[in-house]
Amino acid sequence: MSFEYPKHIAIIMDGNGRWAKAQNKPRTAGHLAGSENVRRIALHANRNHVKSLTLYAFSTENWARPEEEKNYLFKLPAIFFKKYIAELKRENIRVTYIGEIERFPQNTARIIKDAVAQTAENTGLNLCLAVNYGGRREIVTAAQKAAEKLQKKEIEEITEEEFASCLMSETSDVDLLIRTSGEIRVSNFLLWQIAYAEMIFVSCAWPDFDENQFDECICEFHHRNRRFGGLK
């Protein structure tokens, strides 16, 4: 494409289960196909010099899913990183995560943290996985940290900048938020960071969201008039 990609793109990867149902497959097959698509979109974003790609992998609300489905989701990081960690390292992609990962099974948390450690020196795309993450929870914990700093007189006042430094995410504000599978809501995802994000909702399920559809979203992003509250 002839124009620059946004620096920070966030994606709500929705529709794995519906994709599987449409093909008369179990929901787990949809989640596996969705994890394969993480690789495809991450590599494409990296090739086009996106700085950060934040993916909603497991929300705080996903604990309400059936036990069988949750147990499979906990196995996916091992399947994914065993298959692709060498490629991510070779392609200079850095893996990070946001969320309270401590609640995950120990082996799942260990595998994710190991991927973070193995790619820590990479300087390309920051592939950030939101795991056991909720936007409201992130804001509450940030408020607690900021209040503690104020109480200890480490800061003089709680500014927006100081508050933002207490968030889980180390990435910048989101430029573009994409949600697949036709739902039109943000589902408690990066509530602080999407304050001025452009939002695009596409009808296809996440496993079918390919590089061309990704680029169509980028094209639409560049046709938006981003005024940030001002006039242009």
Active site residues: 14, 62
- Beta strands 52-59 and 126-133, pairing class: parallel
**What are the strands, taking DSSP E only, across the chain?**
8-12, 52-59, 94-98, 126-133, 176-179, 198-201
Place of tokens 């799942």: 108
Looking at the DSSP bridge assignments, the partners of residue 199 are 177
How many CB atoms within 10 Å of residue 39? 17
Query: Which two structure tokens, joined as six digits, stand for 92?
Result: 């200079």
Burial class of 17 by CB neighbour count within 10 A (0 to 12, 13 to 18, 19+): buried
Give the whole-angstrom CA distance, residue 153 versus residue 140. Answer: 20
Instruction: Say how many CA atoms lie within 13 Å of 145 toward its Cβ.
Output: 14
